[in-house]
Amino acid sequence: MLSNLATRDVETLLHPYTNLSAHRGTGPLVLERGDGVHVYDTEGRPYIEGMAGLWCTALGYSNAELAEAARAQMGRLPFGHLFSGRSHDPAIELAETLKELMPIPTSKIFFCSSGSEANDTQVKLAWYYNNALGRPNKKKIIGRLKGYHGVTVASASMTGLTANHADWDLPLPGFLHVATPHHYRGAEPGESEEAYSARLAADLEETILREGPETVAAFIAEPVMGAGGAIVPPRGYFEAIQAVLARYEVRLIADEVICGFGRLGTWFGGQALGMRADSLSFAKAVTSGYVPLGGLSVDPALYDVLVAQSEKLGTFGHGTTYSGHPVASAVALKTIEIYRRDRIVEGAASKAPQFQARLAALADHAIVGEARGIGLIGGLEIVADKASKRQYDPKAGVAARCVAFAQGEGLIVRPLAGDRVAVCPPLIIAPDEIDALFDRLTRALDRTRDWIR
Ligand code: PLP
């Protein structure tokens, strides 16, 4: 029997990323409030939010300073835009702050409201840039299988997941995908991580040469793949990839939408993994998920070209109503102030060994093939046979079942395609809460094992 709220949900909401048929029977988990790393449902049951919402609520759920920053800005200037040269203090100050934090050469910051929009803008800028430079054929974009970059038409085209392509008429022509850098699944027997990275780079080079380097504009990568299964690249991966990209003047776009702002124990994920991108997309934890904000960095060479284009064409024809929204900017400024003041990034780094040790121990579980992670992000891969790495029939929905058992244990985690389970708690999680999270996850795996038998 569904509750009143659940019935109204089923009657009215079209849910993102939900099996719409199953949802009519199961109904929603309705949350009412949150406090620290916990959220509470309408029955008052607490859960550890082991996914920081959708990889975003780095400061947890009841941060009064963020609420006050939003309230104060609402009272002062609730809306302001950046079109036609208009501006306002919060957007200016946030752009200054982000320019200071950026780990790559940055001339300007462009704001939007989501990760998808940020990555869509990256594609448009790569196209616009090459047109301006008289290279109208240099337009193809390379992503990776299992990469996730969002759902707008260009972002979903760069994404490498079946659910975002099948029957959506995507990817668009001109969007290619190379292999997932996943040593556990992709390496040959006995192949070292370094040798595997070199092989992936050689495959990328072959793809670029086959397509014609004069047709390839950009390569996009998350430092650690999130939605693909929390996949950490093999050692030496970005160094090897970057050498290839540099040879053919292919821009590297870092999708830092999950990894940015401390997730790997560094301000940006690329810093932990030797990534040197031309531009970087951010969203999610820039406001701790409290209000929507995304954006990207514009490097000096790109900015010079954009200015020259304005001299030729007039207006820079891109932007949204909410680009640089003052309330989102004020909340982001407060979020970054707290990250700095409370040493949140350093805290994530210092808690990572405990988190990763508890995660790695799950690799011994009877149904876990691999437990992998870095910083405060991790993924599990459930297998039917550890030796052959054989998976269960996808129709059995084993990862989804494990996540349902976790929910019964008071833990929210996320099932991902390929019987993977992701863990990505708020960065403020305390050591005893990390233990509670993994105790509950272990019990959920035990119950999954017993359910399979
Ligand atoms: N890029 C990455 C790495 C993501 O994980 C996501 C969302 O999960 C996106 C882009 C898309 O962001 P949004 O959902 O804000 O459009």
Q: What is the pLDDT of residue 1?
A: 73
Q: What is the pLDDT of residue 305?
A: 98
The tens digit of pLDDT for each residue in 56-66 reads 999 999 999 99
Q: What is the pLDDT of residue 3?
A: 84
Do the Cβ atoms of 291 and 111 come closer than 8 Å?
no
The tens digit of pLDDT for each residue in 128-144 reads 999 999 999 999 999 99
**Pocket test residue of 157, 284, 414 for ligand 1, highest count of atoms within 8 A of CB:** 284
Q: Is the peptide bond before 171 cis (omega within 30 degrees of 0)?
A: yes
CA 390, 394, 398: angle at the middle one, nearest 5?
Answer: 85
Expressed in angstroms and rounded, the spacing between residue 223 Cα and the centre of ligand 1 is 13
Whether 197 is in the pocket of ligand 1, judged by its Cβ within 6 Å, is: no
Expressed in angstroms and rounded, the spacing between residue 111 Cα and the centre of ligand 1 is 15
Record the tokens describing residue 263, joined without a space.
């997730």
The tens digit of pLDDT for each residue in 438-448 reads 999 999 999 99
Query: What is the share, in percent, of the chain residues with pLDDT greater than 90?
Result: 99
Query: What is the share, in percent, of the chain residues with pLDDT greater than 70?
Result: 100
The tens digit of pLDDT for each residue in 392-439 reads 999 999 999 999 999 999 999 999 989 999 999 999 999 999 999 999
The tens digit of pLDDT for each residue in 215-239 reads 999 999 999 999 999 999 999 999 9
* Burial 59-83, CB ≥16 within 10 A → b, else e: bbbebeebeebbeebeeeeeebbbe
Mean pLDDT to the nearest integer, 371-390: 97
So what's the ipTM on this one? Answer: 0.99
Expressed in angstroms and rounded, the spacing between residue 256 Cα and the centre of ligand 1 is 9
Answer yes or no: is pLDDT of 257 > 90: yes
Q: What is the pLDDT of residue 188?
A: 97
How far apart (Å, rounded) are the C-alpha atoms in residues 335 and 251?
A: 30
Q: How confident is the model at residue 284 (pLDDT cuts 50, 70, 90)?
A: very high
β-pairing, 38-41 vs 216-221, is unpaired
Taking the CA of residue 259 as reference, the ligand 1 atom at the shortest distance is 3
Record the tokens describing residue 125, joined without a space.
């800028």
End-to-end CA distance of the chain: give it in Å, rounded: 29
Q: What is the pLDDT of residue 2?
A: 79
Q: What is the pLDDT of residue 132?
A: 98
Mean pLDDT to the nearest integer, 21-41: 96
Whether 159 is in the pocket of ligand 1, judged by its Cβ within 6 Å, is: no
Q: How confident is the model at residue 18 (pLDDT cuts 50, 70, 90)?
A: very high
Mean pLDDT to the nearest integer, 296-325: 98
Mean pLDDT to the nearest integer, 62-87: 98
Average pLDDT value for the chain: 97
The residue among 218, 221, 210, 245 whose CA lies nearest residue 138 is 218
Whether 150 is in the pocket of ligand 1, judged by its Cβ within 6 Å, is: yes
Answer yes or no: is pLDDT of 170 > 80: yes
Hey, whose CA ends up nearest to atom 3 of ligand 1?
A: 257
Expressed in angstroms and rounded, the spacing between residue 43 Cα and the centre of ligand 1 is 30
β-pairing, 377-382 vs 368-374, is antiparallel
Whether 116 is in the pocket of ligand 1, judged by its Cβ within 6 Å, is: yes
Whether 283 is in the pocket of ligand 1, judged by its Cβ within 6 Å, is: yes
Q: How confident is the model at residue 453 (pLDDT cuts 50, 70, 90)?
A: confident
